[in-house]
Amino acid sequence: MIKALLVEDDAPIRRGIIRHVKWQELGIDEVKAAANSEEALALRDTYAPDIVISDIRLPGMDGVDLCREMGQKNPETVFIFISGYSDKEYLTAAIDLGVIAYIEKPIDLSVLQGALVKAVSRHRMIKGWRETNLHSMLYSADAPSYKGREDRNSIILVIFSRDPVLDIHKLAAKVAEKLNPPLSKYYEALGDRRNDNYSAILVSRTRTWTESAEERVRNTVLSLRDPDEDWFVTSGRNVRNREDTVQSYNDAKNTVQTLAFKGWNSSASYRQSYTEWHGRISADEERRLYFFLQHRDGENAVAFVDEWYRTLTDEEAVINFDVQNLFYTMNRIVSMLDPEGLSVQEDSFPQGYYTLDELRDYVVGHIERTLWIGAGTGESSVITRVCLYIEENMGNASLSVGEIAEYVGLSPAYLSTLFKNKMDTTLVQYISTARIKRAVTLLEDPSVRFNDIAGLCGYNDRKYFSRVFKKQKGVSPAEYREALKNGRQQ
């Protein structure tokens, strides 16, 4: 059953499309309409449309942001844009979202129906893949078994990432390609994106899995991440049938928490040991930390935090409620003496922090910032200095959050949080976006040699530069410059 949702604020146009499009003949079983983004988002969970046809100019949230929001919830949704405008900004947004068609008003019904045919075809292709891949094995109780693979041994690997793995199927194919000898299919791999943070890859082979073979596969997966991505990679037990595949996935998923003491871009087997630490800071210890801060003794205040950090790391502790509460308590004490108050709402910390390093760095960074601001330096000037430093050092391929944090005198974790709170984007994303903006400027300048642009923007690898550019702009750098050239000739 294929369901469509039309989002159009112009009532006559909305009614006309609903009435005149031959939905059933196009293969669409049900269609609903919304007059704005608010109504559309209300239908997202209850109706779950497979195809969304949306006007771009909507009251409140526009159609671009609406489709981006709906796509995050269900990446398999197919989008069609309709608009009375054809400016470059909206066309670029449509490309970025993978929109299947962009239809200008006044709407030609035959053009719209042609776009819907494509949308239905795209949906059926995605559904056909889902029903035979790892998604169905893990998600559907009545899914078919992994036919023809009863002779193979499989493990599930789980990738936990800060940001979604955009194409898990392509990543799975690359894993198999890297593992296999030339012209061999000894290893096979299937992928599935579970949600924004969790993705899974099933890797199978004829022989039973050994611990060293599992480690090799985990390291192979880690080697395929982009430099600006943070991943945990874990593996579950060896299985030979669909029912146990779910258990292998659960093994791997439950192991993610054990990597808190190792830090990002590390891996572990389901056999990994860990400790459930339980404890709290005593009232005397709270007063001791407060005393250090009150007397501007940053060295002993940081040493206090580091003592707890080493204890947890040595015990290989997972981040449970008591660990979170420990760092929350230390951070709350620092907040009492922060001249500007806590810039990030206290209830947001330590949520969203997945390693002991991050928890430690955040509190230490807050200590440094509190003592620093007490000496007369404000947050706004920090952000300004960061942005200027990025602009001046963008051509440096090794530019990192750590380098910038050292320049402004804060810890990387705290600077990252401060920047996200002030700029509504992560520091890594800001650097990437700034580099691509510079690339656009350079591409628009015919006097700049094409082969020099990647290096001028801080990319040593031209292929990686092209991939990042296409992810942000929807076209490759070469295609972008060629389009500009053709436009000038016209």
Domain coordinates in residue numbering, the chain = 3-130, 146-269, 283-374, 430-489
CA dihedral of 419, 424, 427, 433, whole degrees rounded to 10? -150
The CATH T-level fold of domain 146-269 is: Alpha-Beta Plaits (3.30.70)
Average pLDDT estimate for 301-305: 95
The answer, yes or no, to whether residue 303 has pLDDT greater than 60, is yes
In SS3 terms, 50-109 reads as: CEEEEECCCCCCCHHHHHHHHHHHCCCCEEEEEECCCCHHHHHHHHHCCCCEEEECCCCH
Token pair 């929001």 in the structure block, residue:
69
The answer, yes or no, to whether residue 171 has pLDDT greater than 60, is yes
H or E segment at 424? none
Determine the residue type at 162: R
Find, among 256, 276, 275, the residue nearest to 267 by Cα: 256
- For the stretch 312-353, pLDDT in tens is 999 999 999 999 999 999 999 998 887 665 544 444 677 788
**By three-state DSSP, how is residue 154 classified?**
strand
Average pLDDT estimate for 196-212: 91
Find, among 167, 158, 157, 133, the residue nearest to 242 by Cα: 133
Encoded tokens for 356: 């002991």
Could you give the C-alpha distances from 21 to 16, 63, 175, in angstroms and in order?
Answer: 8, 21, 44
Q: Which band of pLDDT confidence, cut at 50, 70 and 90, is reported for residue 140?
A: low
The CATH T-level fold of domain 430-489 is: Arc Repressor Mutant, subunit A (1.10.10)
Higher pLDDT, 242 or 81: 81
**By three-state DSSP, how is residue 356 classified?**
helix
- For the stretch 79-106, pLDDT in tens is 999 987 665 566 666 666 678 888 888 8
pLDDT of residue 239: 87
CATH of 3-130, one of 3.30.70.2190, 3.40.50.2300, 3.40.50.1370, 3.80.30.20: 3.40.50.2300
Please tell me if the domain spanning 146-269 has the same topology as the one spanning 430-489.
no
